Amino acid sequence: MNRQIDYRQAGVNIEAGEAAVERIKDLARSTARPEVLQGLGGFAGLFALNATRYREPVLVAGCDGVGTKLKLAFAAGRHDTVGVDCVAMCVNDILVQGAEPLFFLDYLAVGKLDPEQVERVVAGVAEGCRQAGCALLGGEMAEMPGFYPPGEYDLAGFAVGVVERDQIIDGSKIVPGDTIIGLASAGLHSNGFSLARKVLLERAGLALEKVPPGLEVPLVDELLKPTRIYVRAVLPLMKKYAVKGAAHITGGGLPGNLPRTIPRGRQAVIRESSWPVPPVFKLIQELGPVQVEEMYRTFNMGIGLVLIVPPEQAEAVLADLKKESFPAWIIGEIAAGDTPYRLVHGPAPEY
């Protein structure tokens, strides 16, 4: 006679899941906005949009994940920053449409549920939400034995924001002569890690705990720097200046993302010497070796977000960013042309 079996023996620990939820309730509360109607535990999150605050509100939604950067978190046993990455990848995407992030939901799938590990991951999610000014409204935690190796997980997120219809940033007003401003990234952010890991760890055999030539911190610290969240710095600029276009520089780099906000007949002319490229990118390029064009279409190369503004407003935008201690540079301009993106090598012109 076969012995009886239960869910725990199949690899799912319901009690551990309940313990994990208790650990993260306070983290969610720390991100609450007045519009949140209930805490964690319901079947869905409730958010009351204040209709009187808007004339013609449009909801803006986005979703993303952290990608193979998670492999480094697993290797280092450090899980407190990838949640920031997850939030950043989502809220920056809706920000460039002109939207204020309202709330965020996460999806965490694990092979074997460890309440302490879950708490550390969600602590990062909560920190990202606080930086973005949005509420952690809810999410899903799934234990999937046999699907993920022990200690590993996947993390994805979903963000919703709001913008007035007549304030949507879609690039349609961009004209030749407009100025392109690049805002500094914190490093690799959450893109290009398959190539970075291949070059730095597999091909070059660098140790995560060592400081490689050209860097000032151990490699693991550099690679796990969380993605920069631009909401608090950029949202006020969108209300103050005539921001005509914006782009979140993620997978595909500048050539893959900047054209998404530029209308036909316009060309973004980017001057590569206009900003300091962080040493980690130079390290990858040299150790690969990796061609320059491949670097620019894989990594952000030090530019995490781009704003396109009228030339007469560019210096004021830079001054406001400087007041917030936010590095930014004029990195190019809009020209007429059928090719939406052009990288110009050589010294940057005087503006």
**240 belongs to a structural domain:** yes
- Tell me, yes or no, whether 160 and 253 share the same domain: no
Q: Do 293 and 184 belong to one domain?
A: yes
pLDDT on residue 20: 62
**What is the CB neighbour count within 10 angstroms for residue 157?**
27
- Which domain range does residue 219 map to? 179-344
Whether residues 141 and 187 fall in one domain: no
The confidence score (pLDDT) of residue 186 equals 97
For residues 163 and 201, membership in a common domain is answered with no
Q: Is residue 267 part of a domain?
A: yes
Domain assignment present for residue 174? The answer is no
For residue 332, give the CATH number of its domain: 3.90.650.10
Please give the angle made by the CA atoms of 233, 61 and 296, to the nearest 5 degrees.
Answer: 60
Note whether residue 119 is domain-resident.
yes
Query: Does 236 share its domain with 259?
Result: yes
Q: How many domains does the chain have?
A: 2
> Based on the number of CB atoms within 10 Å of its own CB, is 135 exposed (0-12), middle (13-18) or buried (19 or more)?
buried
Based on the domain organization, do 334 and 189 belong to the same domain? Answer: yes
For 187, 194, 299, the CA distances from 281, given in Å and listed in that order, are: 8, 14, 8
Phi then psi for 335, rounded to 5 degrees?
A: -125, 170
Same domain, 270 and 223: yes
CATH code assigned at 98: 3.30.1330.10
32 shares its domain with 149: yes
| Cβ–Cβ < 8 Å for 225, 286 | no
Answering whether pTM is above 0.75, one says: yes
288 assigned to some structural domain = yes
Backbone angles phi, psi at 27, to 5 degrees: -65, -45
Residue-by-residue pLDDT tens, the chain, 351 positions: 567 655 565 455 656 656 666 767 788 788 888 888 876 667 788 889 887 889 999 999 999 999 999 999 999 999 999 999 999 999 999 999 999 999 999 999 999 889 899 999 999 999 999 999 999 999 999 999 889 998 899 999 999 999 999 999 999 999 999 999 999 999 999 999 999 999 999 999 999 999 999 999 999 999 999 999 999 999 999 999 999 999 999 999 999 999 999 999 999 999 988 999 999 999 999 999 999 999 999 999 999 999 999 999 999 999 999 999 999 999 999 999 999 999 997 655 443
| Same domain for 289 and 160 | no
Within the chain, strands assigned E span 57-65, 100-110, 135-143, 153-164, 179-184, 245-248, 266-271, 303-309, 328-336, 341-344
| Residue 3, in any domain of the structure | no
- 151 and 222 both lie in a single domain: no
User: Are 20 and 139 part of one and the same domain?
Assistant: yes
Residue 350 domain flag:
no
The answer to whether position 173 is within a domain reads no
